[in-house]
Amino acid sequence: MIVKTVKVISKHGIHMRPCNMIVDITMDAQCDIFLSKDGEDWADGKSIMALTMMAAMEGDEITIEANGSDEQKVVDKIIDLINKGFEKP
C-alpha cells in the first residue's frame, strides 16, 4: 500500500476536467485507489462523480492511497498531474 500527500497548485482546483484526467489514469489501473481532501471523506479514484464531489481547491492537500500491483505507477502519474497544475503535456 502507498499513501502520498500532494498540494493542489491549480488556481481552479480540481474541477470536472481535472477529475476526468485523473480517471483517465486510474480507469485501467489494477490497483484500488482513493483520494481524500484534507483527510476527510475518501473518494474512489475511478469515479469522476466522487472526485468532483471532493471539491478540492487551490492549496488543499490531497492524500492518495493505492493498493495493488501497479500502485506506484498510478500514484506517481496522479502526483505528476497535480504538480503540473493539470496542464496537458
Give residue-wise pLDDT tens across range 9-64: 999 999 999 999 999 999 999 999 999 998 888 999 999 999 999 999 999 999 99
**pTM of the full structure:** 0.93
Q: Please give the Cα distance from 89 to 60 (Å, whole number).
A: 23
Q: Per the residue annotation, which of 4, 15, 73, 77 is the catalytic one?
A: 15
Is 15 among the residues known to form the active site?
A: yes
Residue 71 in this model has a pLDDT that exceeds 70 = yes
Q: Kindly state the cell numbers that stand for 63.
A: 492524500
In the CATH scheme, what is the homologous superfamily, with its name and number, of domain 2-83? Answer: HPr-like (3.30.1340.10)
DSSP 3-state assignment of 77? helix
Q: Kindly state the cell numbers that stand for 27.
A: 480507469
Structural domain spans, the chain? 2-83
